[in-house]
Amino acid sequence: MDSQGPLPSTPASRFDIGLIVNGTSHRLAVDARTTLLDALRDRLHLTGTKRGCDLGQCGACTVLLEGRRINACLTLAVMVHGRAITTIEGIATDGELHPMQTAFVQHDAFQCGYCTPGQIMSAIGLLNESRTTDEATIREHMSGNICRCGAYTNIVAAVRDAAARGS
């Protein structure tokens, strides 16, 4: 017999959570193992956040959690209950592109476009973190976002341009 009383029943495997995504509140019942990426894509149908490596190494799933960049593939949805998440779908205002999106277009900072949402969200996060915006710092702090097409020079130029414009 256990001296501390009976063993606990089976741990909960489903949780009711609240997420604030792009300014809208959502209630979801999720499995304990559901990643934020899966909740965004499969449950909320926000497919701009991409699935890449599922290991947190490529950055395709980058979103902002209360303004700071995170990898949605490594974050469990239950961990962000009640917190504000911003995805690529939530950065335009009144039909106008976010200044970082505009800079990416102006600098042709994409080729196939698969990594672009994660790159843009990471760049916005970098500026939110008040990082310096010299080329070396941008390259270092964007290194978690992989572009298999090799558009890095243009990505850095876009980030520098958006930073210079006060984005």
Write the pLDDT tens digit of every residue in 7-50. Answer: 666 667 899 999 999 999 999 999 999 999 999 999 999 999 99
DSSP class of residue 14 equals E
pTM of the model: 0.90
Q: What is the dihedral of CA 143, 55, 70, 34, to 10 degrees?
A: 170
In this structure, are 73 and 107 located in the same domain? Answer: no
Is residue 8, in this structure, part of any structural domain at all? no
Residues 156, 134: Cα–Cα separation, whole Å: 9
Residues 159, 95: Cα–Cα separation, whole Å: 21
**Spatial CA neighbour of 107 closest among 49, 162, 64:** 162
Which CATH number belongs to the domain containing residue 144 in this structure? 1.10.150.120
Is residue 2, in this structure, part of any structural domain at all? no
Both tokens of residue 25?
Answer: 């509140």
Write the pLDDT tens digit of every residue in 93-108. Answer: 999 999 999 999 999 9
